């Protein structure tokens, strides 16, 4: 009976948690001393809608990771405000969990120990309830047989899944993904995209996903936010009206092609601005060679 109650509660949490919205209002951020400041984000306003998977793309070096750090509360805007469900973001908190490009799993802890670390440290989930919730998530991410393995004994894709479970056990209101599949080989990356998409479509938790891959953005997103060259602002918000559940065949549809054409056109313009100004990112250099 207790197990049934826990499962019912967990399933209800999956369905009701994470339906939060984030608003950025006239946000600006710069770095450096006053006499040589570099403006990274300039007067940026956008809304991350509840229950949607919002993907951010932009030229390399435009400020995508800075945007992640601001929403996560690791850094603060110079001007403007960031609101989570109409309340100001004042610092890091468990309601915003980040999965980074590089693994943050603690190598001296097992998969299971990494997953339970947050709630165990806070003491807000204990004993059988903590073990059962961790086991439920291990099943969900397909790592039950690897719960006693250490991170170095896991493949890159398994490490990514363990990080997802470690974030999800905190029941965040928004998941923030900062190019989480960037270091994976092509096959592992494709499998992780499909896995992550199934996980999202199951619970519709609000997600902000940063990527440099347009196909990945189209495959995952409800909306794509296309950022300008630095200092970053929103060039375009593109609605991705492809039906869910999705599969890779949809990327060959006329609708997906049109989204890709529009996004790539904007990114080309923005990357060439960087290239011509001499700030030169890899993205811009690639386009410069293609145009020559």
Report the pLDDT value the prediction gives residue 278, as an integer from 0 to 100. 58
CATH 3.40.50.300 fits 2-95+174-291, yes or no: yes
Distance CA 10, CA 86 (A): 26
Q: Where are the beta strands (DSSP E) in 51-101?
A: 53-57, 79-84, 87-88, 96-99
Nearest to 96 by CA among 124, 62, 68: 68
Report the pLDDT value the prediction gives residue 41, as an integer from 0 to 100. 96
**Domain range list for the chain:** 2-95+174-291, 107-171
Report the pLDDT value the prediction gives residue 11, as an integer from 0 to 100. 44
Report the pLDDT value the prediction gives residue 285, as an integer from 0 to 100. 45
Helix (H, G, I), strand (E, B) or coil at 163: helix
Cβ-contact 70, 176 below 8 angstroms: no
**Owner of token pair 């967990």:** 10
What are the structure tokens assigned to 212, written together? Answer: 């440099």
**Owner of token pair 């440290």:** 121
Beta bridge partners of residue 238, listed in sequence order: 224
Which residues touch 37 (CB under 8 Å, ≥6 apart)? 30, 31
Cβ-contact 111, 146 below 8 angstroms: yes
Report the pLDDT value the prediction gives residue 75, as an integer from 0 to 100. 96
Report the pLDDT value the prediction gives residue 283, as an integer from 0 to 100. 47
What are the structure tokens assigned to 259, written together? Answer: 């989204």
Report the pLDDT value the prediction gives residue 232, as an integer from 0 to 100. 93
Report the pLDDT value the prediction gives residue 17, as an integer from 0 to 100. 53
**pLDDT tens per residue, the chain (292 residues)?**
334 433 444 444 444 456 899 999 999 999 987 777 889 999 999 999 999 999 999 988 889 999 999 999 999 999 999 999 999 999 999 899 999 888 889 999 999 999 999 898 888 878 899 999 999 999 989 999 999 999 999 999 999 999 999 999 999 999 999 999 988 888 889 989 999 999 999 889 999 999 999 999 999 999 999 999 989 999 999 999 999 999 999 999 999 999 999 999 999 988 887 666 655 544 444 444 333 3
């Amino acid at each position: 009976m207790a197990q049934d109650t826990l499962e019912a509660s967990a399933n209800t949490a999956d369905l009701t948690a994470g339906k939060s919205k984030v608003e950025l209002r006239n946000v600006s951020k710069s770095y450096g001393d006053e006499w040589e400041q570099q403006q990274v984000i300039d007067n940026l306003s956008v809304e991350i809608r509840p229950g949607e998977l919002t993907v951010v793309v932009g030229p390399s070096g435009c400020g995508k990771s800075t945007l992640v750090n601001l929403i996560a509360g690791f850094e603060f805007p110079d001007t403007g405000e960031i609101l989570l469900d109409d309340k100001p973001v004042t610092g890091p908190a468990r309601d915003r969990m980040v999965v980074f490009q590089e693994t943050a799993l603690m190598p001296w802890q097992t998969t299971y120990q990494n997953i339970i670390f947050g709630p165990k440290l806070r003491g807000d989930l204990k004993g059988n309830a903590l073990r059962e919730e961790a086991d439920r998530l291990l099943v969900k991410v397909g790592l039950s047989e690897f719960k006693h393995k250490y991170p170095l004994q896991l493949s890159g894709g398994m490490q990514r899944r363990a990080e997802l479970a470690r974030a999800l056990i905190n029941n965040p209101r928004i998941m923030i993904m900062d190019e989480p599949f960037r270091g994976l080989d092509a096959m592992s990356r494709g499998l992780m995209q499909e896995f992550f998409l199934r996980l999202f479509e199951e619970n519709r938790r609000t997600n902000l996903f940063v990527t440099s891959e347009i196909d990945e953005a189209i495959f995952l997103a409800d909306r794509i936010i296309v950022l300008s060259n630095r200092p970053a602002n929103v060039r375009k918000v593109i609605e991705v009206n492809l039906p869910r559940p999705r599969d890779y065949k949809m990327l060959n549809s006329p609708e997906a092609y049109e989204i890709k054409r529009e996004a790539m056109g904007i990114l080309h313009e923005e990357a060439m601005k960087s290239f011509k100004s001499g700030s030169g990112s890899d993205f811009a250099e690639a386009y410069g060679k293609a145009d020559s």
